[in-house]
Structure 1
Amino acid sequence: MPFKDRTDAGCQLARALAAYRDQRPVILALPRGGVTVAAEIASVLAAPLDLVLVRKIGVPQQPELAMGAVVDGGAPLIVRNEDVIALANVSETEFKAVCDSELAEIERRRTLYLGNRERVDVAGRTAIIIDDGIATGATIRAALRATRLRKPAKLVLAVPVAPPDIIDQLRSEADDIVCLEEHALFGAIGYYYADFRQVLDQTVIDTLKRFPPQLRPKSKQPVA
């Protein structure tokens, strides 16, 4: 297995991202799995940690198949996969129903994870988006597009593992992509981790408490 667990993946990614330490980066994690990875990177880069609240919009009869994704915001950003919508014969009513359900889950997570926590402003800074891996790219594409609207000076995507064709498709969405492991014959993301247990809501909450939005965390030196 390339990674022992998400913490190990975060440590390895932090080494690969070391050049960004002096560029005032902001680390943006996709919960829940991306938060554990991102925490290691934020520590090493002495950067603030925040979330990108994004949810896959799954086909009603096959929810693991993404027909789009939605990102939290003043006006939620919806990214549609028209090919999947047409192939699965999903009506606009069905699409909206699933989208509304995922928006409700985003609201639940925003209230639970962030409460009244002040969000980190990424305008004019280097925004680094982190997840624990990419399978289809639907949610990460939506996260990149939503973050681009917040006008970062540079937008970086960093993940431990992904299929090379998906990475190629995402190059137009990010200014830089760091991916440690690219596998053409891609299995589930968990296949590349020895320990891929589910990240709990409480873990996300506890991790964010380690990174107060107005304070720069004490830097953790990268492991050689």
Structure 2
Amino acid sequence: MLGLGHFWKRVQARKAETATPEFADRSDAGRQLAETLQISQSLSSVAGDPVVVAVPRGGVPVAFEVAQRLGLHLDLLILRRIAAPGHPELSIGAVVDAKEPIVHIDEASVRRFPLPPGYLNTERQHQIAEVDRHHRMYFGEDHADEHDLAGRHVILIDEGLSDAGSMEVSIHALRHLGVAIITLAVPVASQDTLDAIRDKVEDVVCLSIPPSFGDAGDHYEDFPETTDQDVVRLLKEARRSERLLN
């Protein structure tokens, strides 16, 4: 497995030559990411074959291509943010899908906002229900053991990272689930975000670190919204491919 310093030097040199969007679409980004993962890393480890875990919804088309090309299982990390009252763009916690839902509250963030009586409990219950609804939408009535990641090597994938907030919560959730090794793999991210996250995971694979990030969509020629229907379709296709391989 390549060290971070070596990999980042090569990525930065590549980005300096790029003036147009780096990726045609999310599928193209996934194919490029799969190629780099295959070349740069030994994918087998003491934790066995990795599991590709996507952050829905935008991370799913990227992760689908990685899983298909590397012959790995595709799973999701379903996460719902608990927003600060009156500030929907700011998180004070999150609920993560698991056999028993994981509720993470950022106490430092909570102290910054005056919370109405009962707000936190109401939001917690609402987001737990939303996590359950999304799990049923994406996976149906499958058994929780099918998503057991304890002791595994997870390749965690999103479409791009402009800030560390949600990804830090995702990493925290995976550790809570007992994941042994986390490789964070993204097509594009800001340098500040990678600096904030790099010590929280075992490895980072990032194809592009632009000097000015903007939005993730700025780095794709075609960046349509990924719908819930897209997620369901890709998961079904991934399961069909896995059955053929087995």
Unpaired runs of 5+ in structure 2? 1-20
User: Structure 1 residue 41: deviation in Å?
Assistant: 0.4
Moved more, 168-177 or 74-83: 74-83
User: Structure 1 residue 60: deviation in Å?
Assistant: 2.7
Q: Quote the residue 1:15 is aligned against.
A: 35
Quick check: 1:204 aligned with 2:231?
yes
Q: Quote the residue 1:222 is aligned against.
A: none
Structure exhibiting the larger radius of gyration computed from Cα positions = 2
Give the CA RMSD over aligned residues. 2.4
User: Structure 1 residue 113: deviation in Å?
Assistant: 0.4
TM norm structure 2: 0.78
**Pairing partner for 2:70 from 42, 45, 60:** 45
Unpaired runs of 5+ in structure 1? 219-224
Change (3 A) 1:175 1:213: farther
**Greater helix share, 1 or 2?**
2
Equivalences, count = 218
Counterpart contact for 1:11–1:40, Cα < 8 Å: yes
Q: Letter of the aligned partner of 1:111 in structure 2?
A: R
Change (3 A) 1:69 1:188: farther
Change (3 A) 1:45 1:92: farther
Q: Quote the residue 1:117 is aligned against.
A: 142
For 2:241 and 2:23, the matched residues in 1 are separated by: 32
Q: Following superposition of structure 1 onto structure 2, how do residues 186-201 of structure 1 map, counting pairs within 5 Å?
A: 186-201=213-228
Quick check: 1:178 aligned with 2:189?
no
User: Structure 1 residue 138: deviation in Å?
Assistant: 2.5
1:5-61 C-alpha deviation (Å, 9 max, x unpaired):
111111121122112444511101111111111000001110000111112222231
Change (3 A) 1:214 1:158: same
User: Structure 1 residue 108: deviation in Å?
Assistant: 1.0
Q: Quote the residue 2:25 is aligned against.
A: 5
Counterpart contact for 1:47–1:217, Cα < 8 Å: no
Counterpart contact for 1:10–1:39, Cα < 8 Å: yes
How high is the sequence identity, in percent, across the aligned residues?
A: 37
Change (3 A) 1:41 1:135: same
Quick check: 1:33 aligned with 2:58?
yes
Counterpart contact for 1:32–1:204, Cα < 8 Å: yes
